[in-house]
Structure 1
Amino acid sequence: MAGLIKRALIGRRVKSPADSLNRFAAQIRNTTEEHCAEILVATSLAAGWLQVTTATKLQFPEVFLSGRRLVTFPEERNFLSLYIDEIKVLKEVVKSSQAADAAQVAGGLVVLIHSIRCVQDRAQFLIAGRALWQDLLRGQSIASEMTDALFVPRMLAPSWEPLPGWQLAQRPLRAPELQLDS
């Protein structure tokens, strides 16, 4: 497993969402394309799992991450805050799981937490979120050799296009088989 993902999971706790995002973005900015590819695949696995799991009470916020709908109402911000809280709890459960994909999914959950926060509070985090995804997508060509589908939040990567000749899967992203005790 990539050292960067492990550092993101084990690293010291930071106090504010802005500090956490800035620290994580700096790690991504300073990592290799190979690590970016691993993180893209991990994020895609986590997103695929969240789209089909019953481990969360709330629905995956793809409508906001895709940019099809902007977060404008307090109820929407509250929904995303609750979803982030659910993912944080779930990340701890996944980290302790013995499933083969558990560490990778937990690393992808970290990226999704930051991504959701960036669309939740566009005024404060949208530019940083777009820079984060621009850096992550440096690993796209390598990631495309590792998986047949990537989850890329269009709100944070509006000009993203798949590599020439590479087709996105027509089926949902592969969801890992995580058995969680809840």
Structure 2
Amino acid sequence: MAEKQIKPWVKQLLELGPTLAFFLLYLRIKDDTFTYGATEYSGFIVATVAFVPILLVAMAVLWHLTGKLSRMQIFTAFMVIFFGALTAWFNDERFFKMKTSIVYGTFAGLLGIGLLRGRSYLEFVMGEFLPMEHEGWMILTRRLCGLFVGLAVANEIIWRTMSDTTWVTIETFGFPIVLFLFLWMQIVGLQRYLIEDKEEG
């Protein structure tokens, strides 16, 4: 099915809205304790559980409007559901915090496997949307692989040594901003590898 075009702000709202909703909900109930079935749950746990249906609804709307979901979106949703369920079942917030490390680590592992085979899986996935020479894709893949490793390690350090509020804030804003700025810098720095459409007469 061909992807339908929607307004960019609508797409951004559906992609980023659930995470922002989690952040705001956490701030609202972070100091509260909730009792269900004689078991006490922290505000963090409740916000995590609420995040799952919010994300699924946003993804369903995005799929309805565009007719398509990326592999990364589907993988991320699976990880959120899986680790959100573990967090609720064991009443242990560490599962949800580790999810971020596992996601970044998985991305780094997949890109690393491709590099060991002399290939860029980024080029395979994104080459149609960003025409660039193979050498440029290999450079970008190596750098992005390193970034994902760094983000995974940083997440482990942050959630193990800092407060829940600090982790939630960095998870919501810090990591996405770092990833955005990194990609922007790479696109600017790799301009010489971009392939421009040329009409040959």
In which range does the TM-score fall when normalised by the shorter chain? 0.3 to 0.5
Please report the TM-score for the alignment, with normalisation by the length of structure 2. 0.33
The structure whose RCO (Cα within 8 Å, separation 6+) is larger is 1
| Bigger share in helix | 2
